[in-house]
Amino acid sequence: MSDQIADGSHDTLWQLAYDCGMSRRRFLSLLVAGGAAAVLAACRDVIPEHSSEGIRVAPLVFKDTSPYFDHGRAGLETRMELLDEWLTPRELFFVRNNSRSVDVAARDWSLRIEGAVDRPSDLKLDDLFALPTRTLVSYVECAGNQRVMFERLQGRSTDGTQWGPGAVGNAEWQGVALADVLSLAGISPATAGVLLIGLDVGSPERGFRRFLPIEQARHPDTLLAYAMNGAPLPPDHGYPLRAIVPGWVGASQIKWLSRIVVSDEPLWTRNNTTSYVMLGDDFDGEIVTTQSIKSALALPWPATLERGRHPLHGFAHSPHGPIAQVEWSDDGGESWQPASLGRQRDSSWVRFDFDWTATPGEHTITTSATDAAGNTQPDLAPFNAKGYLFNQPLPHPISVT
């Protein structure tokens, strides 16, 4: 590790300390007291709570980054034009991290259930395999998906990684109901909810975490998943266990799950007080839970096409139920035409298709989705300082040669 900072770079040293879960205050105090050697020694001593020594130092991500827009520490954004299938291939599924991906062997891993329970326990994968298996198709989407569009379409900048439309993917997840695991531990009628904590100790709070109200925790579709698209979870997607909370923002779907803290009162963390809350304009700290209805074309932004007839497609999804209709317009919204819809299941997204005749020049195609509950994409997404839940129809620029 010391070779990486032979030049004494303060920024590089702080990056390493941050990845180890060190606070800025502790980093500066160690730097003053003992220099780089003291910081590095402290990093080597970091062992995640309630985990084993089998956790190894990992790169930012394990998968090939070339098919993605690489956002560095924040993760990998899917290039929508590469998506064709209803289920997103594992090698194209977006990655959202808050530090580094975690590399842990199943034999070194356990899931600790603690707090307001009758029977605190440590479960291994075999214990979970013994419970009833649940399979669910669900999309997972970062709360900041399409965040960059606040600036592109509204001219207003936001905090956070400037994701385009590719921080979303659709997969088949296999695992067990969180409700079944809670029943094993024994919870009381007074239980308010559960705090899910991951092994990514480089994240804020030394393990990314999110509180789920008990109603959501006990929902039959809230899963602890150990498989994705018919195979064990890849390391970048939470191996050996992650939460799947259909319709909720990705921040609630904790990867590398290692602890569940059951509580008789709401638990407050960074991720429901200062992060993943709505701030600015008409918002005053409302907690971000469910996602918003969206649609996007599977094209580069901006796109270039040759003249002639083109079959175009994209994907639409809603946290409130199946998509009932997707419409598209190439005249600025003066007229709309329906797209055909593919299959939908459980909490999945839907692929939509239509043909478009391209003529030379500059064009814009806009899509808009409506779900079965009557929710539709708004003309203007409500601005918030952190750029969450952008979902106004996207006017996709296309040059035709």
pLDDT score at 183: 97
Average pLDDT over residues 82-98: 97
pLDDT score at 43: 59
- Distance in angstroms (rounded) separating the CA atoms of residues 59 and 70: 14
Q: 200 vs 75, 249, 336, CA distance in Å?
A: 14, 18, 46
pLDDT score at 378: 98
User: CB-based contacts of 174: which residues, under 8 Å, 6+ apart?
Assistant: 133, 134, 135, 136, 225, 226, 227, 228, 230
On the 0-12 / 13-18 / 19+ scale of CB atoms within 10 A, 299 is buried
Neighbours of 26 (CB within 10 A): 13
- Measured over all CA atoms, what is the biggest interatomic distance in the chain, rounded to whole angstroms? 69
For 248-277, write each residue's pLDDT tens digit. Answer: 999 999 999 999 999 999 999 999 999 999
Q: How confident is the model at residue 381 (pLDDT cuts 50, 70, 90)?
A: very high
> Strand order of the sheet with strand 209-213?
121-123, 111-115, 257-263, 193-198, 209-213
For 136-160, write each residue's pLDDT tens digit. Answer: 999 999 999 999 999 999 999 999 9
Asked whether residue 7 carries a pLDDT value surpassing 50, the answer given is no
For 162-188, write each residue's pLDDT tens digit. Answer: 999 999 999 999 999 999 999 999 999
Handedness of CA 19, 24, 25, 30 (dihedral sign): positive
User: CB-based contacts of 103: which residues, under 8 Å, 6+ apart?
Assistant: 55, 56, 57, 58, 62, 235
What DSSP designation does 385 have? T
pLDDT score at 10: 59
Angle in degrees, CA 164, 196, 264, rounded to 5: 130
Interhelix angle for 10-19 vs 24-44, to 10°?
Answer: 70
CA atoms within 13 Å, Cβ hemisphere of 337: 10
What are the helix and strand counts (H, E) for the chain?
A: 6, 24
Q: Which residues in the chain are classed under CATH 3.90.420.10?
A: 68-287
pLDDT score at 40: 66
Q: How confident is the model at residue 54 (pLDDT cuts 50, 70, 90)?
A: low
pLDDT score at 6: 33
Tell me the percentage of the chain whose pLDDT exceeds 70.
89
Q: Which long-range contacts (CB under 8 A, 24 or more apart) does 35-41 make?
A: 36/2, 36/5, 36/8, 37/2, 39/13, 40/1, 40/2, 40/5, 40/16
- Distance in angstroms (rounded) separating the CA atoms of residues 240 and 398: 42
pLDDT score at 36: 76
- Find how far residue 89's CA is from the centre of its chain: 16
Q: How confident is the model at residue 27 (pLDDT cuts 50, 70, 90)?
A: confident
The CATH-assigned architecture of domain 68-287 is: Alpha-Beta Complex (3.90)
Asked whether residue 16 carries a pLDDT value surpassing 80, the answer given is no
Q: How confident is the model at residue 32 (pLDDT cuts 50, 70, 90)?
A: confident
Q: Which residues in the chain are classed under CATH 2.60.40.650?
A: 294-400
User: CB-based contacts of 331: which residues, under 8 Å, 6+ apart?
Assistant: none
The CATH-assigned architecture of domain 294-400 is: Sandwich (2.60)
Q: What is the mean pLDDT of the chain?
A: 91
Structure tokens at 157: 């900048």
Q: Specify the 3-state DSSP secondary structure of 204.
A: coil
Q: In this structure, what are the phi and psi dihedrals at residue 103, rounded to the nearest 5 degrees? A: -115, 105
In terms of Cα–Cα distance, which of 207, 280, 219 is closest to 248?
219
What DSSP designation does 8 have? -
Instruction: Name beta bridge partners: 277.
Output: 287
